Structure 1
């Protein structure tokens, strides 16, 4: 498919693209699992005696999260256990001077690549390869390593431009994410395949369900998506109460497709049996879906649903998760998401946990990642992989002639 770090050799000038995009609170960049994951790739490059220059992004122009990468350099250095210098420039004179001054085994991080005007426009790889950004920076390197699978669905300059002008390789995160997230299409499983689908983005879930047919034996639904499907099935849920805009516009946009999926695959779609809400005493309470008269937000699937879903998971050969089943950030309404993750962790099955929110629940509630086959740090790229869409970043690595 593509070459990896194993194919590089040693002693090269390496430009490596990571995804270190992180939450920012009051100007402070928060640590997350991306630093630990990408540290493996950087550490291997250092140990092989390469001169390593890191590109990464943070936020988008105009947003509070659009900040410098100086803090990222310090955070990544802790995980790599090796000093990482930082230069507040992407491809200007200061960046070029810093790159040329590197010795073997040293690491430099460039400034936020999205501060470069050439980076963000979605363009064909050939156009990006001809940008001033790529044409200026590429001659300073012997090869390019892409480890940023989570932005592989973006046709940005730092993702698709360099593989056309430099020998290109996949980092460890890129290779692992690609193998796990494409396994529905590329692997055969000896038993039922189950997909757990939740979260707030109904269109993403519907796209996944529409793209996957014979590959999936069971769909287990929850979150806002679960309510919308329950609404189509005739239950008094799946609409906004108060000032919310989570349900109604998604229902208008997706009602027809939801009804079609229920009609075509109703025997494989399992809907919640009960739902949880917050009482006037700020406590968790549950109601059967038959008894719900929605007058307040519904925040989790209920205990009967968790038991039903657990039974299906335990009989599965493979389980793929996209999206949370409830508002797990509030521990009162984490039973669905965390309970099912715990079942998956103790079941002898191939398991891929995808999407930023779901993987964050693993960290928040102290679950051990080692009990899952793969915990993805990708969001949009994970969805595109599940739906069989091409990923420009992966295609660029695979098609490079260098």
Structure 2
């Protein structure tokens, strides 16, 4: 598929693309598991005597999270165990001079690549390869390593342009994410395959379900998408109350597809039998049968958690995309955490999708080692599950075929 660090050798000047995009609060960049994951790739490059030039992005122009990468350099250095120098330039004279001054085993981080006007436009790899950004940096290095799987669904200059001009390799995060996130299609499992689907984006979940048919034996639904499927099944839930804007527009966009999926896969789609809500500042639960929605429903209930747990315990593989409730509030974390605990205690192959679900693992003290793979990707994870092409992965594959 693509070349990896095992094919790279040693002692080169390496341009490596990471995804260190992080939450920013009051101008302070928050530490997160992306630094830990990418540090392994950078550390391996350092240990092999490479001169390491790091590219990454943070936020988008016009947003509060669009800040410099000077803090990212310090955070990355803590995990790599070696200093990470920083230059506030992407591909101008100061950046080029800093790249040329690098010694063996040293690391340099360039400024936020989205501060270059060449980065963000969605163009073909050939067009990006001809940009001033790529033409300036490519001659200064020997090869390119892409470790930014979580940004691989973007056709940006730093992701698809350099493989057109340089020998290109996948970093360890790219390699492991690709292998885990395509395993539904690429692996055979000795037993049932279960997918836990929740979260707020109904279209993403429906796209995943539409793309995966014979591969999945059980779909366990919760979150907003779970309510929408309950609505299609005839229950009086799955619509907005208290001036909310989460359900009705998604129902209008997806009702027909939801009904089709229920009709086609009724025996494999499992819906909540009870839901939780807030009552007197505490958690309360109600069965789904014969109850009308009068207030926000924030989690699946105890009977649903038990039912889902039994299915998971009998599974050979479990894939998770989306949370089953508002787990950030501990009162409504039971569904998401309960499912994760069932997976952790089951001898199965498991992939936990990026974004909210992986944050729940850290928030509630679960160990990543309990799962086969915890993804740091969001959009790229969904694309992989739905079989869509990831431009950055395809760029690596094409580079491998061409050389």
Q: TM-score, normalized by length of structure 1? A: 0.99
Q: Report the counterpart of residue 229 of structure 1 in structure 2.
A: 229
Q: Report the counterpart of residue 375 of structure 2 in structure 1.
A: 376
TM superposition shift of 1:172: 0.2
Q: Pairwise mapping of residues 122-201 of structure 1 onto structure 2 (< 5 A)?
A: 122-201=122-201
TM superposition shift of 1:388: 0.5
Q: Does 1:24 align with 2:21?
A: no
TM superposition shift of 1:244: 1.1
Q: Report the counterpart of residue 38 of structure 2 in structure 1.
A: 38
TM superposition shift of 1:299: 0.2
Q: Report the counterpart of residue 399 of structure 1 in structure 2.
A: 398
Does the Cα contact within 8 Å between 2:17 and 2:147 map onto a contact in 1? Answer: yes
In structure 2, C-alpha distance between the alignment counterparts of 1:303 and 1:72, rounded to whole Å: 41
In structure 2, C-alpha distance between the alignment counterparts of 1:364 and 1:163, rounded to whole Å: 37
Aligned residues: 401
In structure 1, C-alpha distance between the alignment counterparts of 2:313 and 2:96, rounded to whole Å: 55
SS of residue paired to 1:276 = strand
TM superposition shift of 1:293: 1.5
Does the Cα contact within 8 Å between 2:85 and 2:109 map onto a contact in 1? Answer: yes
In structure 2, C-alpha distance between the alignment counterparts of 1:33 and 1:338, rounded to whole Å: 19
TM superposition shift of 1:54: 0.2
Does the Cα contact within 8 Å between 2:147 and 2:173 map onto a contact in 1? Answer: yes
Does the Cα contact within 8 Å between 2:235 and 2:290 map onto a contact in 1? Answer: no
Residues 316-368 of structure 1 show CA distances to partners (whole Å, capped at 9, x for unaligned) of: 00000000000000000000000110000010000000021000000000100
Q: Does 1:113 align with 2:113?
A: yes
TM superposition shift of 1:292: 2.4
In structure 1, C-alpha distance between the alignment counterparts of 2:107 and 2:2, rounded to whole Å: 25
SS of residue paired to 1:174 = helix
Which of structure 1's runs of 4+ aligned residues deviate more than 3 A? none
In structure 2, C-alpha distance between the alignment counterparts of 1:180 and 1:288, rounded to whole Å: 36
TM superposition shift of 1:291: 3.8
SS of residue paired to 2:289 = helix
Q: Gapped runs of 5+ residues in structure 2?
A: none
Report the aligned-residue RMSD. Answer: 0.5
Q: Does 1:359 align with 2:358?
A: yes
In structure 1, C-alpha distance between the alignment counterparts of 2:172 and 2:291, rounded to whole Å: 48
Q: Report the counterpart of residue 311 of structure 1 in structure 2.
A: 310
In structure 2, C-alpha distance between the alignment counterparts of 1:127 and 1:62, rounded to whole Å: 25
Residues 26-80 of structure 1 show CA distances to partners (whole Å, capped at 9, x for unaligned) of: 0000000000000000000000000000000000000000000000000000000
TM superposition shift of 1:295: 1.0
TM superposition shift of 1:123: 0.8
SS of residue paired to 2:262 = helix
Q: Pairwise mapping of residues 57-96 of structure 1 onto structure 2 (< 5 A)?
A: 57-96=57-96
SS of residue paired to 1:290 = coil
Residues 112-145 of structure 1 show CA distances to partners (whole Å, capped at 9, x for unaligned) of: 0000000001111111011111011100000000
TM superposition shift of 1:243: 1.6
Does the Cα contact within 8 Å between 2:14 and 2:143 map onto a contact in 1? Answer: yes
Q: TM-score, normalized by length of structure 2? A: 0.99
